[in-house]
Amino acid sequence: MIDLHTHTLFSDGVLLPAELARRAQVLGYRVLAMTDHVDSSNLDFVLPRLVAVCADLQPEMSITLIPGVEITHVPPALIGSLAARARDLGAKIIVVHGESVVEPVCPGTNRAALESDVDILAHPGLISIEDAALAARNGICLEITTRRGHSITNGHVARTAREANAPLLLNNDAHAPGDLVTLDFATKVARGAGLDDEEWQLMRKKSEELVQKALAT
């Protein structure tokens, strides 16, 4: 199991990074990215600490840990510059909080994210075919999520990504221990979104590719 979108108590998660890593390791996860919510107010505080703790924990754990961020509720015009700052500060995975239908995300967030140097557009809601095509051109993954609420539009995201040939991956957006799902449950969520076996395997392969890219930088 690979998950590239999780949260610690450095944003609105409830676990210390060490406990999140340990719980994921016990559940059989192979790779975990810690991607706490950031905007310009806390990026310089949160990200260096995630970089440091991942480096400290890594020699003692079998799970691969990757530091990152989720740019969240940032005005679209600021997303590109914040993503660039996050790269400079050591973010290996950059997620943008997409236009979920259960939160008042600013319209235009999906498009701004897809025009920026990011890796994943999380829970992109009722994403347009034009934006999905932009994701395909720029190699940015659209997220199928196991998280309640955000998962309402998984089926739409899957269908639109299929039509645009945009890359998909699955994350759980964990904020608490109970949010860490098993591979079996993740498979059920993918199937529930309408993805077949081949598409599910392609999603898992895309996660592997993103991990290799992150570790190479």
Q: Which tens digits make up the pLDDT trace of 102-130? A: 999 999 999 999 999 999 999 999 999 99
Q: CA-to-CA distance for 115 and 213, rounded, in angstroms?
A: 19
Residues with Cβ within 8 Å of residue 174, at least 6 apart in sequence: 3, 5, 6, 7, 13, 20, 180
- Going 16 to 182 to 178 to 212, the CA torsion angle's sign is positive
Q: Which one, of 12, 10, 9, 6, lies nearest residue 27 by Cα?
A: 6
Q: What token pair was written down for 43?
A: 């990026």
Q: Domain ranges in the chain?
A: 2-216
pLDDT surpassing 90 at residue 217: no
| pLDDT tens profile 6-53 | 999 999 999 999 999 999 999 999 999 999 999 999 999 999 999 999
| Cα Rg of the chain, angstroms | 16
Q: Count other Cβ atoms within 10 Å, centred on residue 212.
A: 9
- C-alpha separations of 87 from 58, 73, 130 in Å: 20, 19, 26
Q: CA-to-CA distance for 94 and 119, rounded, in angstroms?
A: 5
| pLDDT tens profile 152-203 | 999 999 999 999 999 999 999 999 999 999 999 999 999 999 999 999 999 9
Q: What token pair was written down for 144?
A: 């199928």
Average pLDDT in the chain: 97
Maximum Cα–Cα distance across the chain: 45
Q: CATH topology for 2-216?
A: TIM Barrel (3.20.20)
Q: CA-to-CA distance for 202 and 207, rounded, in angstroms?
A: 9
Q: Count other Cβ atoms within 10 Å, centred on residue 29.
A: 21
Residues of the chain above pLDDT 90, percent: 100
Q: CA-to-CA distance for 49 and 43, rounded, in angstroms?
A: 10
Q: What token pair was written down for 169?
A: 């991956």
Q: CA-to-CA distance for 60 and 38, rounded, in angstroms?
A: 27
